[in-house]
Amino acid sequence: MDRKVEKKFWEGVRFLGAAPDECWIWGRGKSGNGYGELMQDGLKLLAHRVSAEIHFGENPGLDVLHSCDVKLCCNPAHLRYGNPSENMRDKLERHGGKTLTVQMVKTIRAMAKSGVKHYPLAKMFGISYPYLWRILTWQSWPTVDY
């Protein structure tokens, strides 16, 4: 991994908590489909892929899968290499049609608490503002704590 890329990566990561299982949220640019993005020498790099290469070594040409389903997450504890069919199977098995997972709700609440504006937060997770508000006011997902 290029040292300049690695330096840019660490400058862009926001740690939401001290626990190792918390999402590390990419706090800079985003791609059109919501993934963290950084630029290096005119190339667009996806932050979760950069994180995987830093922590696991060079990507052997596979997808980088998120166990937390948070597109801006770069925590290597939430990432692994896998092929496209594993990626799709993984998504279906984990939340079988549900819009959000428990980890995503925890991340939404933590990001809102840390000052992320609500409308961009709703867009980031692909949910409506009213649904986001119900999550933040504990009307939806009331049993999920931070």
Provide the residue-wise pLDDT of the chain in tens; the chain has 146 residues. 789 999 999 999 988 766 777 889 999 988 887 899 999 999 999 999 999 999 999 998 999 998 877 889 999 999 999 998 888 777 666 645 456 888 889 999 999 999 999 988 988 887 877 788 889 998 888 888 87
Residues 39 and 82 in one domain: yes
pLDDT at residue 18, rounded to an integer: 64
The C-alpha torsion from 139 through 93 and 37 to 12, rounded to 10°, is 60
* Domain range for 112: 98-146
Distance CA 120, CA 143 (A): 24
Residues 10 and 27 in one domain: yes
Q: How many domains does the chain have?
A: 2
Residues 90 and 123 in one domain: no
Residues 91 and 116 in one domain: no
Residues 13 and 79 in one domain: yes
Residues 27 and 42 in one domain: yes
Residues 104 and 74 in one domain: no
pLDDT at residue 5, rounded to an integer: 93
CA–centroid distance for 11 within its chain: 16
pLDDT at residue 109, rounded to an integer: 93
CATH classification of the domain holding 81: 3.90.75.20
Residues 77 and 120 in one domain: no
pLDDT at residue 143, rounded to an integer: 86
- Are the CB atoms for 70 and 25 separated by under 8 Å? yes
Residues 38 and 73 in one domain: yes
- What is the pTM for the complete model shown? 0.67
Element (DSSP H or E) covering residue 36: none
pLDDT at residue 98, rounded to an integer: 53
Q: Which residue, 113, 117, 109, 116, is CA-closest to 136?
A: 109
